[in-house]
Amino acid sequence: MSPLPTFSSMAPEAGLDRALALSRPDIIEEVKQSGLKGRGGAGFPTGMKWNFAAAAQADEKFIICNADEGEPGTFKDRVILQDHADLVFEGMTIAGKAVNAQEGIVFLRGEYTYLRPQLEAALAKRRKKGLLGKDILGSGLDFDIRIFMGAGAYICGEETALIEALEGFRGEPRNRPPFPVNTGFLGRPSVVNNVETLACAACIMQRGAAWWKAMGTEKSTGFKVFSISGDCGKPGVYEFPMGITVAQLLQEVAGVGAKAVQVGGASGLCIPASQFSRAIAFEDIPTGGSIIVFGQHRDMLDVLHNFLEFFVDESCGQCTPCRLGNGKLLEGVELLKEGKCSMAYLQELCALGDTMQIASKCGLGQSSPSAFLSVVKNFREELMGRTYSQV
């Protein structure tokens, strides 16, 4: 029984059927109208992305499904792939038609290797049914999907790093511009969409933009799949409309009374109880769906320590602020834990965090200090107790 009622309620391939009957611009227009934004976390408008790729001139284009879900606290793509793989493949096929791409690639993280057999089986079944391959359902559309296994690198969730990995390189993000929609995999226009985004696109094709827009907020339309973990009674995957407040969400997952909630994973924001009335939406607290609940007994420095260890391990290491900055923040947390961090140095580290946010080459380094900065801002008293000024 899938925890995702909307996905479960979709009629198989109805979205694809409709898309096959529509013109390319009409498909893109429908997605644009829906206001769907990327579900991986960055929230780039999906219709716009498809439009860019559709407009790019090339013989060959690619639809890449980003299934390199690695953000701490995120596991919704695993559930979607387990329970609704066909919806994802349907979305990829629709995207293929929309931008005139012939090949789809699922970049599946190495940690999910156990999902591969069932995904391959689902693909084979689709091919048999004429939903993939040459002349899909007699529409003249040629499109097929293959699976590429990741090899254990969080950074490959970043779209240009993912493409580097596909091309056989170290997963190091590229300079942008140019963007993948123009110069992507093998230099060809490529759409990189999150698993959930593609599934949502299939739903939108089936039920229409108006249906989608009726959910969520004006700027963050539709529903969102959340991964809930941490100190709550009912962890798991949930479907909530965008704009849900942290407090409402905690109510649903039996996490009332929490000390703080980490929204957006290790690279997201740490929200203290005083701000639980804030909304989870691109205009307030953006998220790729990771929600980690911290109970009253949690030491925020332990949390930060864990996050920063993660980033120190997972930074690709090419740009200076991220390669060395995360380590400095981690050392800072260790100093704080030992009560050996001067106020001046803590301020210096916060300034460094600001630098990382604006100077790192990609989203990893730009967001890795977020947790540090928000904990220092929101839980100052908790840290201050262990801080003594010694300048």
Partner 1 sequence: MSHTTILDTGSRAPKSQQSLSVPRSGSDEAIGGTVTASINGQDVKVPLGTTILAAAQKVGIRIPTLCHHPDLCVAGVCRVCVVEVEGQRTLQAACAFPITSPIKVLTHTQKVRQTRRHVIDLLLSEHYGECYACGRNNNCELQSLAKEYGVDFFRFGHPDKPKFEIDRSSYSVIRDNDKCVLCRRCVRTCIDLQEVGTIEVAGRSDKSYITTFKDKPLGEVVCINCGQCINRCPTGALRANDPTDEVWAAIDDPRKHVVIQTAPSPRAAIGECFGLPPGEPLTFELNTALRLCGFDRIFDTNFTADLTIIEEGTELILRLYKALVAKDPDIALPQFTSCSPGWVKYLEHFYAQYIPNLSSAKSPQQMFGAVIKTYYAEKHGIDPKDIVTVALMPCSAKKFECNRSEMDDSGFKDVDYGLTTRELAKMISEAGLELPKLPKSDFDAPFGTATGSGVIFGATGGVMEAALRTVIELVTGAKVENLFEKANIIPVRGFEGVKYVELPITQVGPVPDILKHLVPDWEWLKGATLKVAVAHGTANARKVMEDIKAGGKFSQCHFIEFMGCPGGCIGGGGQPIPTSPEIRSARAKAIYAEDAGYEVRKSHENPDVVTIYKEFLTDGPCGHKSHKLLHTRYVARGKYIE
Partner 2 sequence: MLMTARERLAREIKALAEKHGHARAALIPIVQEIKHKYRKVDDFAMQVIADQLGIHPVEVYSVVSFYAFLGSQASGKFIIRLCRTISCDMQGKERVMRQMENDLGIKFGETTSDGKFSLEWANCMGMCDQGPAMLVNEKIYTHVTPEKVHEILEECRRSFGVHATEQKEVYLV
Interface residues toward partner 1, by CB under 8 A: 153, 160, 163-164, 167, 169-170, 172-175, 177-178, 183, 187, 312-321, 323-328, 348, 351-352, 355, 357-361, 366
Residue in 71, 103, 144, 158 binding partner 2, rule: CB under 8 A = 71
Decide if residue 323 touches partner 2 (CB under 8 A).
no
Nearer CB in complex with partner 1: 65/330: 330
Decide if residue 261 touches partner 2 (CB under 8 A).
no
State the nearest-atom distance from the C-beta of 147 to partner 2, in Å.
10
Nearer CB in complex with partner 1: 25/187: 187
Backbone angles phi, psi at 104, to 5 degrees: -115, 140
- Residues pairing with 336 in the sheet: none
Residues 165-194 that bind partner 2 (CB under 8 A): 165-171, 186
Instruction: Give residue for tokens 């996905």.
Output: 7
Decide if residue 154 touches partner 2 (CB under 8 A).
yes
Joined tokens for residue 178: 């140019």
Continuous segment of H or E residues that includes residue 5 = helix 5-8
Separation of alpha carbons 39 and 281, rounded Å: 11
Joined tokens for residue 98: 């929309």
Nearer CB in complex with partner 2: 125/298: 298
116 binds, among partner 1, partner 2, none (CB under 5 to 8 A by kind): partner 2
Decide if residue 236 touches partner 2 (CB under 8 A).
yes
Number of residues interacting with partner 2: please give it, by CB under 8 A. 54
CA 324 from chain center: how many Å? 25
Joined tokens for residue 85: 């793989």
| Neighbour tally for 291: CB within 10 Å | 29
Separation of alpha carbons 211 and 156, rounded Å: 33
State the nearest-atom distance from the C-beta of 71 to partner 2, in Å.
7
Joined tokens for residue 140: 């003249």
Residues 92 and 63: beta-carbon distance below 8 Å: yes
Residues 242 and 131: beta-carbon distance below 8 Å: no
Residues that bind partner 2 (CB under 8 A): 69-75, 77-78, 109-114, 116-117, 148-154, 165-171, 186, 227-231, 235-237, 262, 266, 290, 292, 294, 298, 303, 306-307, 309-310, 313-314, 316
